[in-house]
Every structure is written in structure tokens, then in C-alpha cells.
Structure 1
Amino acid sequence: MMRIMGLDVGDKRIGVALSDLMGWTAQGLETIHRTNIKSDLQRIEVIIQEHDVKKIVIGLPKNMNGSLGPQSEKVIEFTEKLKRRTNLETVFWDERLTTVAAERTLIEADVSRKKRKTVIDKLAAIHILQGYLDRTNK
């Protein structure tokens, strides 16, 4: 049994989700409002320690044709720094449609645009992690 963390890494915010101990379901944990790389990584390390996280799944934003753009490169660079600090296994998950799915979920739930901004990253992290869990549990 191991807990897995899902991250949706953006320029302004990082959505954080955690799996249950059985690795079946993803729950949203929090949204980290980014200040600088050092404090962003420190916050993630605290979460890893508090929840005994053993693996990290990170959404990789690809272009619709599958190529990697400037945002992907930022995420890869962030992931390298995170790996060096935590020594945990990290896995990239194609997140092309996760933000779209998260947005649709919030619109269907009639969440106001202002409130959507505060939860969209966390919800995207849930979609990333749940996609990964569903694939690995088959």
C-alpha cells in the first residue's frame, strides 16, 4: 500500500491531490499559490512527509499534436528539482484534457467563475491522479 501524490503545476498555482492508501481514488488536498521555487518545493516536501507519499504523478501539458511546448519544459524543469530534493519516483501523465474536464465539471456544478479559479488546479490534479490510478489498477 502506498500513497501517491498528483500535481498540476502551473505558473501561478500548483494543484495537489492524494490517493487513498489502496491507490484507488484521488482526493483534492490543496492549491499552492506559487511564490518562489524554494518555498513551492518546501511546501510539497511537507505534504510528502505528512502523508507518507511514495510516488508523484505530474501532469505534463502537451500540445494537441502530442509535442511539448514551453509550458511542458517548465514542468519538466520543476520535476527535476523536485526529484533531486525528494528522491521519489515521478511519473508524467498526459494532461491535455484534464483542465478542460475540470472546468466542465465546475460549470456543470454551477460554480461561479471566481470560485472556479480557486479550485480548478486542485480539480485538475485529481483528474491527473485518477487517470493514472485507473490505468495502473486495470
Structure 2
Amino acid sequence: MSRISALGLDIGQKRIGVAGCDGTGLIATGLTTLVRTSFEQDIAALRQLIQERHVEVLVVGLPYTLQGTLGYQAKRVQKYAARLERALQLPVEYIDERLTSVEAEQLLITQKLSPSRHKALIDRKAAALILQQWLDERRRTSPKNPPLEIVTNEEF
């Protein structure tokens, strides 16, 4: 299986949740939450992560409406992601992120943490859910790997 290095981004008006994946493309984990101050600072922080992790693609959660259309917020995210793509010179792929923040909040509640006190953690977990969804879809649509050959002790 080919190696992949991607960053998942949950882009909000105040923060950007960031997730990364292991090189095999199996597991996404939350990395950090960037507090948005300026586009230049966002780029600097992302560029550092991209260099450290040898990132090849940005996976951006697109907040479709519950009816499945692109609303105002989704268009804002697309515009911002296009700026990221140009500034960072990396391809951007979108994934439907409907309800990922709700799912992230539920994960916190099960851990007995208050969602209202852990907004940055919610953003990071939402980014991990976005990236995990992309990784899972990528595996489902890629050509299947041939089965591994099992070697027994008798063959040594």
C-alpha cells in the first residue's frame, strides 16, 4: 500500500482544528488547534506542520447544509481553502463534514468533559473525524492489495 501524509482541517471562523495521519493512511489523530488571527500566521503555522510531516494533501471539511447543498459557510470555507491551496502549493480535497462537530462533542461528553470548556479539543477531534472519513473512503476506492502470503515455521 502506498504511503500517504495528509492534514485534515476543520476550518472555522475563530479556530482551525488540525489532524494528521500515520504514514499507512489507517489512523487519523488530532494534532493541534490553531487560533485564527491572520491569514499569514495561519499559513506559517500550517507550513511548519506540513514540513515536519511531509504533507502531500490537505483534506478540508466542507459544511454542507442538512439538505446536502453548499450554504454560505461552505462557500466561505471553499474560498479560504483555495487561498490555502495557492499559498501552500498543495492540493486540497473536500469531504462532507456534516455533524462532525456534534460527533466530536458527543465524544467529549462520554469522556465526562464539558464541550463548552473544550472548544479547541472539539475542533481537533472534528478534524480527525474529517481526515478519518477521507482515509476510509480512499481505502474503499483504491485497488485492493493482493493478499499477504502466510509463511509457516515449516517453510524455514
Give your verdict on TM over 0.5: yes
> Rg: which structure is higher?
2
Q: Which residue of 2 aligns with 1:46?
A: 48
Cα distance in 2, alignment partners of residues 57 and 87 from structure 1: 14
Q: Which residue of 1 aligns with 2:133?
A: 131
Deviation at 1:93, TM superposition (A): 0.5
Q: RMSD between aligned alpha carbons?
A: 1.1
Flag structure 1 segments of 5+ consecutive residues without an equivalent. Answer: none
**1:11-90 correspondence to structure 2 within 5 Å:** 11-90=13-92
Q: Where do 4+ consecutive residues of structure 1 move more than 6 Å?
A: none
Cα distance in 2, alignment partners of residues 113 and 40 from structure 1: 24
Q: Is the 8 A contact 2:17 2:120 kept in 1?
A: no
TM-score, scaled to structure 2: 0.85
More relative contact order in 1 or in 2 (CA 8 Å, sep 6+)?
1
Deviation at 1:114, TM superposition (A): 4.1
Q: Is the 8 A contact 1:103 1:116 kept in 2?
A: no
Deviation at 1:58, TM superposition (A): 0.2
Flag structure 2 segments of 5+ consecutive residues without an equivalent. Answer: 141-156
Cα distance in 1, alignment partners of residues 134 and 112 from structure 2: 27
Cα distance in 2, alignment partners of residues 113 and 27 from structure 1: 19
Cα distance in 1, alignment partners of residues 23 and 56 from structure 2: 11
Please identify which structure carries the higher strand content: 1
Q: Is the 8 A contact 2:64 2:71 kept in 1?
A: yes
Deviation at 1:2, TM superposition (A): 2.1
Please tell me the residue identity of whatever aligns with 1:105: L
Deviation at 1:120, TM superposition (A): 0.4
Q: Which residue of 1 aligns with 2:114?
A: 112
Deviation at 1:10, TM superposition (A): 0.1
TM-score, scaled to structure 1: 0.95
User: Percent of counterpart pairs with the same letter?
Assistant: 41
